[in-house]
Structure formats: structure tokens, C-alpha cells
């Protein structure tokens, strides 16, 4: 069916201006390697890995084969009281790339479910270890932790909370965000200024008392809010303050996991060990929905230390460790390893940095920032119309054969880890042309 005459009415699209989209749709129907293809066959360079997830590139034959073979062998297996051997193997594979001492994995189907699962594990753990008064959760401004009630409550994106403001879970505080444009603009890698923002955690502890606080959750690099990179020393300082007050630290690595920062997880890239990691997206290179929560052994062992064989955690999903997701996860992790894609991401990071920073000085560009294969170019908003310039640019980029992600007036980049220098040059040249007559 052509792009023009398909009915788009029935699908209520997520996080999309439905009316604007349906007037002028941007449709893709095929993908391979670094590219999408429109129904008319036009090639679109994918500089966001779909939605920060297709880290192995599109349509990797080994991942495709594994999913096809599993679909033919066993469609579904229950994991409430039964098990499927491959699911245990997938958990082992994740434990082997997680930071040391984090060897237990709870499977979910998305980043949102991973976040809500992690928050529930944190709360239940505090209760299990006899610290039931530790119920408060601390998130951060401008953070995105998915769309579950837990996730939007600890999250810090005003529009995502606005329609639900009376229904947030109680007992949540927010750290300040770390985006200091006036002090850190055009930083390459970690910005110099802002470590002191972590000390706000001491103030929150001072206000509520540590004995009431369960966990802090942060994205090591905030993705959705426009790639906000932590100031030097900031994450270590958060870890120190959590240790001092016996508070759990959760890293939401839904975007930063699986090579995005040139290492297995941001935890390793930044050498800061959290107590819980949430993951999704790159876990299966976006091929089959799957999420995971990876916990420190002490947390798992606390649940397992009680006598008897009863259920230890009253939580789980019909599709936890779905066989298709497990097959995709195992094949994806094998591809990452065999093809050295995380190492490749680390090697390409400086080329990526050069390419992005060449946009400095173009019309309306007010910041360029990057770490690993994650980066952003921030544009000045049009007076009184925040987001309008970004929306215009998204459309023009698509028309010119380039897929990027826009948050407000910030362009985000997170290319598949197979990206070549020529793709980066193409993206930057396309953007230069558009910015010059936007």
C-alpha cells in the first residue's frame, strides 16, 4: 500500500502528535544495517538506533535466525513455577557482563517494567532486611524512567507527569538536574562543572532522615531529556553519599547499557557500582521486547535467606523471559561479543565527537555534547514556541533521508554501534544544510 492512501486513524500512537503525524506521516517498512526504507523505497539513515535500541544494527542475520528458530520450536513457556533452560542461560550471560557481584537477573518486557520492578525490589528488600521505614524514593529532575506509575513518580519530565499529577506514588523527592548550559556548553565527554549538585542528596537525607529513604534512582546519562551528561565525579559522589547512609543506588541503564558508552554498562564506563541496574532496549537490540533488572547478590540473598520454599517476591509478568525474547537476547549478546561491538563503540567515540562538534557555529546551535556513542546538539528555541524549531528540523531531516530524535529543540544521536565515519559525515552534512535555511 502506498504512503498516500493508507488509513492511519485506528492506531492511537504513543508519544506522538497524532493529528500532525496523520496529516503528514513518516512511515518506514523495512530496515537493514544502518538504514530504514520507506514504503516507497526511500533510504533513511538511522542515527538513533530506532529509539536508542538497535545497537547491533537492523536485521542482523544471526539474531533473525535465532528468533525464527525459537518461534518454530516453542512459542511460549510459563515461568511461574516452571522454567525454560534458555532463560537461565540468558540470565547467566547478563550476569557475566554485569559489574562484579551482580549475578541475579529479573526479566521484564520493557524499560518501564524494569524501573517499576527495580523500585518494588528496593522497597521489598528494605522490608525484608528489617528496615521497613525506608520507603522514600529519590529521583532527579529531567530524568526519564518510563511510564509506569513508579517511573513517572521518580521521573522528572514535567509533561510526562502533568496529566497524572494527583496520582503519583507518595514519598518521592527529586535531585536537581545536571544540565548547566552556561558553565558546561560544548563539553567533550564529561563536563567540568557541577559535582556539587550531588550534595543535594545530603540535604534531602537531612530533611527526611536516612532511616526513611529506600533508594536513589538516576540515569547515568539522561537520555530522553536530551543527553545530559553527568559532571566529572558526580556519580561517584552520589555513590559515596548513598553508602554513607545505607541507601540503595539504582542506575537506570535502559539506554546506557550494551555498549552505548563503549563498555558493557555505564557502571563500568564510569567505574561506579550501583546496587541495581535496569536494562531493556539494547538487551535484544530492539528486536523483541525485553527488559531486565540486575541486582547485587546481597539483595537476592536477603530474599532467599528466609526458611521455607515459599514465593520470595510477589511480582512477575506472564511474559517474563518469553522464549522469543530469550532467543533474541542470547543471539544479540553473542553478536555483541563475537563482533566486539562495545569495543568498536569505544573506538568510534572520538570520531563521533569530532563529527558532532563540527556543528558548533551553525545557525541556532547553542551546545554540542557527547559521551561514547550518545550525543546531542541543542538549538535555541524560537521565542514563545519551544519545540517548534526541533519539530521542523525532524521533518526536514526525514525528507532528506535522515532519522534523528528530537526532544524539544535538542537533537539526540545514538547510532547503531556498527556506524561508520561516512554515516556520521552524511548526518552532519545533512544537518548543516537544513540548519542554514531553517
Q: Which is nearer to ligand PXG, 351 or 381 (CB)?
A: 381
φ/ψ of 124, rounded to 5, equals: -65, -35
Answer for the pair 428, 394: CB distance below 8 angstroms, yes or no.
Answer: no
Q: Cβ of residue 317: shortest distance to ligand PXG, in angstroms?
A: 13
| Minimum distance, C-beta of residue 207 to ligand PXG, in the bound complex (Å) | 26
Largest CA distance in the chain: 70
Residue nearest to ligand PXG (CB): 111
The SS3 of residue 281 is: helix
Burial class of residue 408, CB neighbours in 10 A (0-12, 13-18, 19+): middle
Answer yes or no: are the C-beta atoms of 252 and 217 closer than 8 Å: yes
For 93, other C-beta atoms within 10 Å of its C-beta total 18
Q: How far is the CB of 405 from ligand PXG (least distance, A)?
A: 5
Closest to ligand PXG by CB, 115 vs 205, is: 115
Q: Closer to ligand PXG at the Cβ: 254 or 435?
A: 254
Using CB under 6 A as the criterion, which residues of the chain lie in contact with ligand PXG when the complex forms? 51-52, 110-112, 115, 144-146, 219, 223-224, 252, 254-255, 280, 405, 407
CB nearer to ligand PXG: give 106 or 128.
106
Cβ of residue 406: shortest distance to ligand PXG, in angstroms? Answer: 8
To ligand PXG, the closest distance from the beta carbon of 173 in angstroms equals 19
Measured from the CB atom, the residue of 156 and 262 that comes closer to ligand PXG is 156
Helical ranges in 265-322 per DSSP H: 266-269, 297-304
Task: Compare residues 118 and 213 and give the one whose CB is closer to ligand PXG.
Answer: 118
The sign of the CA dihedral 227, 233, 239, 244 is negative
CB-nearer residue toward ligand PXG: 407 or 430: 407
Judged by beta carbon, residue 128 or residue 252, the one nearer ligand PXG is 252
Distance, CA of 291 to CA of 311 (rounded, Å): 21
Using the structure block, give the residue that is written with the C-alpha cell 537476547. 329
Closest approach of ligand PXG to the CB of residue 385, in Å: 20
Question: Cβ 149 to ligand PXG, closest distance in Å?
Answer: 13
Name the minimum Å distance from CB 350 to ligand PXG.
Answer: 24
Hey, which residues does 36 pair with through a beta bridge?
31, 44
Taking the complex as a whole, the smallest distance from the CB of residue 436 to ligand PXG amounts, in Å, to: 26
- Indicate the residue among 110 and 426 with the shorter CB distance to ligand PXG: 110
* 248-252 and 172-175 beta bridge pairing: unpaired
DSSP string, 190-245: S-SS-GGGGGHHHHHHHHH-GGGEEEEEE-SSB-TTT-BPPPTTHHHHHHHHHHHH
Query: What is the rounded CA–CA span in Å between residue 83 and residue 3?
Result: 44
Q: Are 329 and 257 in contact (CB under 8 A)?
A: no
Helix/strand/coil (H/E/C) assignment for every residue in 388-411: HHHHHHHHHHHHCCEECEEECCEE
Amino acid at each position: 500500500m502506498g504512503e498516500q492512501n493508507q488509513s492511519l486513524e485506528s492506531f492511537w500512537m504513543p508519544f506522538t502528535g497524532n493529528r500532525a503525524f496523520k496529516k503528514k506521516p513518516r512511515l518506514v517498512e523495512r530496515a537493514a544495517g544502518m538504514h530504514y526504507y520507506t514504503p516507497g523505497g526511500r533510504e533513511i539513515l538511522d542515527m538513533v538506533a530506532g529509539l536508542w535500541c538497535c545497537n547491533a544494527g537492523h536485521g542482523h542475520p544471526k539474531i533473525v535466525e535465532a528468533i525464527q528458530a525459537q518461534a518454530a520450536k516453542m512459542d511460549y513457556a510459563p515461568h511461574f513455577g516452571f522454567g525454560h533452560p534458555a532463560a537461565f542461560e540468558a540470565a547467566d550471560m547478563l550476569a557475566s557482563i554485569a559489574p562484579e557481584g551482580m549475578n541475579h537477573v529479573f526479566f521484564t518486557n520493557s524499560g518501564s517494567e524494569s524501573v517499576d520492578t527495580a523500585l518494588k525490589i528496593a522497597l521489598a528488600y528494605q522490608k525484608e532486611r528489617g528496615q521497613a521505614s525506608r520507603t522514600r524514593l529519590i529521583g532527579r529532575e529531567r530524568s526519564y524512567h518510563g511510564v509506569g506509575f513508579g517511573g513517572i513518580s521518580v521521573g522528572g519530565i514535567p509533561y510526562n507527569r502533568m496529566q497524572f499529577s494527583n496520582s503519583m506514588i507518595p514519598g518521592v523527592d527529586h535531585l536537581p538536574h545536571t544540565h548547566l548550559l552556561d558553565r558546561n556548553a560544548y563539553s567533550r565527554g564529561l563536563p567540568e562543572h557541577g559535582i556539587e549538585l550531588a550534595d543535594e542528596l545530603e540535604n534531602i537525607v537531612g530533611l527526611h532522615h536516612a532511616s526513611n529513604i529506600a533508594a536513589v534512582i538516576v540515569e547515568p546519562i539522561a537520555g530522553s531529556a536530551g543527553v545530559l551528561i553527568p559532571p566529572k565525579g558526580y556519580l561517584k559522589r552520589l555513590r559515596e553519599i548513598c553508602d554513607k547512609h545505607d541507601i540503595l543506588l539504582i542506575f537506570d541503564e535502559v539506554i546506557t547499557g550494551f555498549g552505548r558508552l563503549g563498555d558493557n554498562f555505564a557502571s563500568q564506563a564510569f567505574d561506579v557500582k550501583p546496587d541495581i541496574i535496569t536494562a531493556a532496549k539494547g538487551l535484544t537490540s530492539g528486536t523483541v521486547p525485553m527488559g531486565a533488572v540486575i541486582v547485587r547478590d546481597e539483595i537476592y540473598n536477603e530474599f532467599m535467606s528466609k526458611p521455607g520454599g515459599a514465593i520470595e517476591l510477589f511480582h512477575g509478568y506472564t511474559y517474563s523471559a518469553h522464549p522469543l525474547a530469550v532467543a533474541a537476547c542470547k543471539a544479540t549478546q553473542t553478536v555483541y561479543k563475537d563482533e566486539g561491538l562495545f569495543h568498536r563503540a569505544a573506538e568510534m567515540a572520538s570520531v563521533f565527537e569530532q563529527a558532532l562538534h563540527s556543528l558548533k557555529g551553525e545557525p541556532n546551535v547553542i551546545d554540542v555534547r557527547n559521551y561514547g556513542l550518545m550525543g546531542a546538539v541543542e538549538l535555541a528555541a524560537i521565542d514563545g514556541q519551544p519545540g517548534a524549531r526541533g519539530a521542523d528540523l525532524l521533518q526536514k531531516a526525514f525528507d532528506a533521508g535522515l532519522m534523528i530524535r528530537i526532544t524539544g529543540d535538542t537533537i539526540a544521536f545514538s547510532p547503531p554501534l556498527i556506524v561508520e565515519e561516512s554515516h556520521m559525515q552524511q548526518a552532519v552534512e545533512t544537518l548543516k544544510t537544513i540548519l542554514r535555511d531553517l
